[in-house]
Structure 1
Amino acid sequence: MMQSDVDGEGGGRSVAELVVVRSGAVRSTGAADLPWVVIDGAGVAIEPVSEFLRELLACGNGASSCRSYGYDLLRWFRFLAAVEVPWDRAQRDEVRDFVLWLRTSDNPARVRTRPDAPSPGSINARTGKPSLSAGYAPATINHALSVVAAFYAFHVRTGKGPIVSPVPPQSRRGGRVHAHHNPTEPFRLHKRGSYRQKQPDLPPRAVPDDVLDDTFSRLECNRDRAMFSMFLSSGARASELLGMSVGDACPGEGRIYVATKGLGGMKQACPAAPEAFTWLALYLGELAGEGHRPEPDEPLWWTRRNPLRPLTYTAVRAVLRRINDSIGANITLHDLRHTLGLRLIADPQVTLVDVQQVLRHRQVTTTGRYLRPRVDEVIARVHEHYPRPRPRPRPLAGWTYDEQDLSDVFGVD
């Protein structure tokens, strides 16, 4: 049983025995000034969260960011309700116990009820990628801490919350400390902020070619073939590709336009393979044959069953889940983006800056992660090394040790 070790208010709280009720929800409003709200167990919007989300939107963040922040704050308010502490009375003890609760609790989004579901963290034989663990990932905990810190920082500024934020600040030596680093001096290691978790630096992982072939062979319609081919050849993220309109596909130019993450809906061009446009033409022809001709400003991807409606991420993920179950794999849509990045890096005719432009990374250092050698390639090269004959050291010839030098060093008479 894990217990809080720090004495004080909440110091004797048993996190292991804490029951956090999954009450409340994050709901869409359809309003431009507040697209998402967090409601409590009584179905009432939590006004301090709504004020913070309005501020977030006004600062240039998108609706998807508001939704993501809303879920983190919903989790925080559920925890506060379980420990019976008002949001404006929370102390550092509550933040510490919140982190401990996240570290020791199962993530409901990762619950698998099928009897044949892989055990959490097990390595998939076909892709070499581990299955998701049962708990909250370190990145999820760190993101939740950052959101809660921003929430309290906003209310400290407005004077409607506590005088001091309960979340410990990030280390001042972190952030952009290397922006003006002297290249002749070594980099210094920096301490993580309190309660921030260690995050593994995982390299991008490509989907093996045989798994890709099996995946495409099990796609049941031209819509899915066009979509997955565009995922693999454009490097677009799931939300970007699913947010395309008909006019965003330009076969004559060999490109598509997607609303890039973090740019407030601004669209950027991405390349797409000719076969992707071929499947797209077949898919649009089928739509027209069924009497549905979407206008250039209407969504590009639609469901196959009536009543027709725009395709959602949940539906696409369900398609991929069925394929994974049938071929024994565990690939995700984002794995296709990694696959394209690694393929481009391996092409000597494509520069690192070209890959940065295709993947639309703000910093080239992010693209540089794709330069790291793939684990399976390194293991293959090492296995090729094992049977090679070991080189024997050359005998030294042409000179000998001086007897007087040996006597001086070792004290031999």
Structure 2
Amino acid sequence: MKGTRPLDNDEIRQVAACFDGSFEIRNRGLFMLGVSTGGRISELLSLRVGDVYQNKRPVTDLLFDKSVVKGGEVSRAVPVNSDGRRAIEDLIAWHGERYQNADKDRPLFPSRNGQGEKRMSRRTAHDVLKRAFEAAGLNGHLATHSLRKSFAQRLYDRTGDIFAVQEMLGHKSVTTTQKYLGVNYANIKEAVEEMAVASELHISGLLGSAIKKEKDETLFLELALRGYDLSNLRDDNETTAEIVRIS
């Protein structure tokens, strides 16, 4: 959904703690699988027990088939981390307790109506998540798509690889992926600082022919404005600084 924002790890923990009631496990499972795999809400609601639980254990890789992917463009496999696997285990146990049935063809996220044969609706998913976001006291535009964006943003923050994020989301164009990712100004500032050639600047009079000495008050002031500690450069009798640059 356009304009929705992602959640960070602390917010994910807050929301996960806000589900309650007889469908607490189902609702928390939907949320945790969403932020752990980046699945669209339509993909998540289309999952069946057998898609996530095989050989009596949670899958380690989840296949989203192109038949339920938006536009039917591409199938993709997404690794399932420990959060996702725990959610699957809880869901399977809940199915057994509530319905005495965890058959592989049953909807993983069943409707409240009936005995678990019908899947949960998108509207219900929206309402369930909205209540959890509100209970957690979170601000900003949050909706079902925030789960997918949370996965994308956290994966990008850890890898810095937009093409990996593109593949995990199943986007045909990296331009679409770019729209999912917010700008973390603090990270950008740190990265830009690391690009600085300050490491190539030596403030010393001990270097030999490999260095070039420049007295430049303008440069001194510029470096000072940028936050460099140049106090040890100033001579009590001078207002200029000697900046030694490697040739």
TM-score when scaled to structure 2? 0.62
Letter in 1 for 2:166: Q
Which ranges in structure 2 are unaligned for 5 or more consecutive residues?
A: 192-222, 231-238, 243-247
CA distance in 2, matches of 1:365, 1:263: 18
Q: 1:318 aligns with which of 124, 127, 131?
A: 127
Letter in 2 for 1:261: K
Contact 1:230 1:276 in 2 (8 A): yes
CA drift of 1:377 comes to 6.1
Do the aligned partners of residues 249 and 396 (structure 1) sit closer, same or farther apart at CA in structure 2, a change above 3 Å counting?
A: closer
| Percent of paired sites with the same residue | 22
Contact 2:76 2:168 in 1 (8 A): no
| Deviation by residue 1:78-128 (Cα, 9 ceiling, x = unmatched) | xxxxxxxxxxxxxxxxxxxxxxxxxxxxxxxxxxxxxxxxxxxxxxxxxxx
Match of 1:261 in 2: 70
CA distance in 1, matches of 2:240, 2:99: 84
Match of 1:239 in 2: 42
Q: Secondary structure at the match of 1:262?
A: helix
| Deviation by residue 1:41-61 (Cα, 9 ceiling, x = unmatched) | xxxxxxxxxxxxxxxxxxxxx
Contact 2:59 2:80 in 1 (8 A): no
Do the aligned partners of residues 376 and 351 (structure 1) sit closer, same or farther apart at CA in structure 2, a change above 3 Å counting?
A: closer
CA distance in 2, matches of 1:343, 1:207: 9
Q: Secondary structure at the match of 1:361?
A: coil
Map 1:346-361; keep pairs closer than 5 Å. Answer: 346-348=157-159, 351-361=161-171
Contact 1:233 1:273 in 2 (8 A): yes
Match of 2:151 in 1: 340
Match of 2:84 in 1: 276
Match of 1:411 in 2: none
Do the aligned partners of residues 253 and 209 (structure 1) sit closer, same or farther apart at CA in structure 2, a change above 3 Å counting?
A: closer
Structure with more contact order per residue of length (Cα contacts < 8 Å, sep ≥ 6): 2
Do the aligned partners of residues 376 and 334 (structure 1) sit closer, same or farther apart at CA in structure 2, a change above 3 Å counting?
A: farther
Letter in 2 for 1:363: S
Letter in 2 for 1:284: I
Letter in 1 for 2:83: E
CA distance in 2, matches of 1:281, 1:340: 20
Letter in 2 for 1:239: S
CA distance in 2, matches of 1:205, 1:375: 16
Query: Which one has the bigger helix percentage?
Result: 2
CA distance in 2, matches of 1:307, 1:396: 80
Contact 2:111 2:119 in 1 (8 A): yes
CA drift of 1:245 comes to 1.6
Number of aligned pairs?
189
Match of 1:217 in 2: 17
Do the aligned partners of residues 378 and 269 (structure 1) sit closer, same or farther apart at CA in structure 2, a change above 3 Å counting?
A: closer
Contact 1:222 1:282 in 2 (8 A): yes
CA distance in 2, matches of 1:287, 1:370: 34
Map 1:48-63; keep pairs closer than 5 Å. Answer: none
Do the aligned partners of residues 208 and 285 (structure 1) sit closer, same or farther apart at CA in structure 2, a change above 3 Å counting?
A: closer
Letter in 2 for 1:230: L
Do the aligned partners of residues 247 and 378 (structure 1) sit closer, same or farther apart at CA in structure 2, a change above 3 Å counting?
A: same
Letter in 2 for 1:269: A
CA distance in 2, matches of 1:233, 1:331: 17
